[in-house]
Copies of this chain bind each other. A is one copy, B any other.
């Protein structure tokens, strides 16, 4: 199936990905230079550029390599769609909580101005479909307002999620508050799009996340209002 040439290429690619993963684990952000990476992978400095194109692309490949997707959500069957949504988000974040140093390095590079191709590598159609399905389910169950565009709602949820990741990366959110911060964003936006029935399910969640954030690590002193002009 695969020519010997392509096989060797894949093998090199994999070696680079593994080396990157190990380097991040061992040295954190600082130790991950392209020169160190090439040396660790037993490869010339030019090779990662040939095979991936840039440092960011390498890290994206690491992110891709790490995650399995989609087969973990089969068992949410009996929950209502909105709870499924929040549960899925919770699960997503739990991965970051388990290995914060590692994921923070990855997200740092990934969030920094990325090109379209690279973004699509993370936020791909498969994942899009998963979330849209949940939102459509909620809509069909009458939990969202009539006329809500689930694609646009998803986009808003997504912005909120990535923003929380960004602020975690830059140190404005503690890892203990990741769940609650992301959850509050989700719950607020969902409740904002919800029908009366949906809101009944979400109101309690809003306050629960709010409590979690208040009781968590003391809120930072620094203001968080965006500027106005």
Q: Which of A27-60 contact B (CB under 8 A)?
A: none
Asked whether A152 lies within 8 Å of B184 as measured between CB atoms, the reply is: yes
User: Are A123 and B229 in contact, with the CB atoms below 8 A?
Assistant: no
Task: Tell me the complex Cα distance, A95–B63, Å.
Answer: 36
- In the complex, which residue of chain B has the Cβ closest to the Cβ of A70? B228
CA separation between A223 and B125, bound complex, in Å?
5
A207 nearest CB across to chain B (Å): 6
Q: Which applies to chain A's interface (DSSP): helix, strand, loop or mixed?
A: helix
Question: What CA separation (Å) do A167 and B113 show in the bound complex?
Answer: 9
Q: How many angstroms between the C-alpha atoms of A172 and B156 in the bound complex?
A: 13
- Structural contact, A188 and B156, CB atoms closer than 8 A: yes
A214 touches B152 (CB 8 A): yes
* Band of interface residues on A: 35 or more
A92 nearest CB neighbor, chain B only? B228
Given contacts A152-B184, A188-B188, A189-B189, contact A88 B170 (CB under 8 A): no
Interface residue ranges, A against B (CB under 8 Å): 63, 67-70, 72-73, 88, 91-92, 95, 108, 111-116, 119-120, 122-125, 127-132, 145, 147-149, 151-167, 169-172, 181, 184-185, 187-194, 202-203, 206-207, 210, 213-214, 219, 222-229
